[in-house]
Amino acid sequence: MENKDGHITRNRPPYYILDVGDNKRQYYDSVLDKFIDQFLITPPINNHEESSQDFVNNYSVCLLKYYFFFIDFKDAVKEGNVARLVTLHKELLSHFKALPGFDNYAIKMLISIVQNYEAEAHQCIWASTVNWKRGAVKNIEIDLLKESRNKSLKKSIKSMGPNKTDNAINKSSRASGGEDKIGENFDVQIKRATQSSPHSHRSTAADESIVMADLRVVKPFRRVPNRMHDSFPDILPDPLVTIDHTELDNWLARHKRNLLLDAPLGRDND
C-alpha cells in the first residue's frame, strides 16, 4: 500500500474466513510470527561490508528488538512470572555488557541472577512482584508498591500533628498496609464507584497516521545498500554483535570470584 487509501498488494487478509471462529486471531498471529521470524529472529550480522549495509533497516530492526524485549519484560511483571524475569535478566546482562558505560547495570543483573539460585531463590522470587489488587495479570513491581506505601505513611505521619512521636510513627508504619486494605474492603462492601484518574490521555491517532505515512515513504524493511539516518549513520541491527565473548567470560569469572569472596563489586577499571 502506497497510502492509506491504496489497495493491499501483498499479505491481503482472507476476509471471507476471518469472522469464523478463532480464524482472525490465528491469521494475525501467523502474520506477526512470519514478520518476527524474518526480521528479528535472525543470527547477528557482523561480517558484512559497511558499504553494503542498510543502516535505516538496521535501526528499524534494532528498535523492534528493544520494543519486543520491553513488552516481554512488562508482561512478565504483570504475570508475576519470576522465572521468565530471570531469563530476561540474563538477556539484559548481555545487552548492558555490550554497551559502553553500563557495566554497573550488568553487575546488578549478575547479582540478580545469582540470587535466584540456591538459598536466596525463594526470597527473591516472592520479593520481586506483588499482586495487591487481586486478579490475573495485575502484578506490579514491589518497588512501586513500596512507593505507594511510603506516600500513604507520610500522609499518616503528617496528620499526627503535635502527637508525632517515635512510638506513634512506629505503630502507624506497621498498620499502614492494613489501614489501606480495610478502606479498600469497605469500598467493596458498600459498592463505592472507583474514582477515575484525573489524568487525561491524548489520542494517538494523529501520531499513528504520521508514523504510517513515514513508513510508507521510507520502507525501512526493504533493504537499500548504504542508506542511513543522519543521527544514526552506523547503527548495527543487533547490539550484541559487539560483545567480545572471551572478555565476557573473563568478566564473569572475575565477578563470580568477587561474589564468592563477598567482595564489593565496583566498576571495572578497563
Which residue from 40, 17, 36, 42 is spatially nearest to 27, judged by alpha carbons? 17
Q: How confident is the model at residue 87, as a pLDDT?
A: 85
Which residue from 97, 118, 141 is spatially nearest to 267, judged by alpha carbons? 97
Confidence at 43, pLDDT banded by 50, 70, 90:
low
Give me the long-range contacts of 229-237 (CB less than 8 A, separation at least 24): 229/55, 229/56, 229/59, 232/55, 232/59, 233/55, 234/50, 234/55, 235/55, 235/58, 235/59, 235/62, 236/45, 236/46, 236/58, 236/62, 237/44, 237/45, 237/57, 237/58, 237/61, 237/62
pTM recorded for the entire structure: 0.66
Confidence at 47, pLDDT banded by 50, 70, 90:
very low
Give the model confidence (pLDDT) of 145-164 as tens digits.
888 888 888 888 888 888 88
Instruction: Work out the average pLDDT over 45-68.
Output: 76
Q: Which residue has the higher pLDDT, 52 or 198?
A: 52
d(CA 106, CA 111): 9
Confidence at 77, pLDDT banded by 50, 70, 90:
confident
Mean pLDDT, all residues of the chain: 77
Q: Is the pLDDT of residue 127 over 80?
A: no
Evaluate whether 44 touches 241 at the Cβ level (below 8 Å).
yes
Residue 195 has φ and ψ, to the nearest 5°, of -70, 135
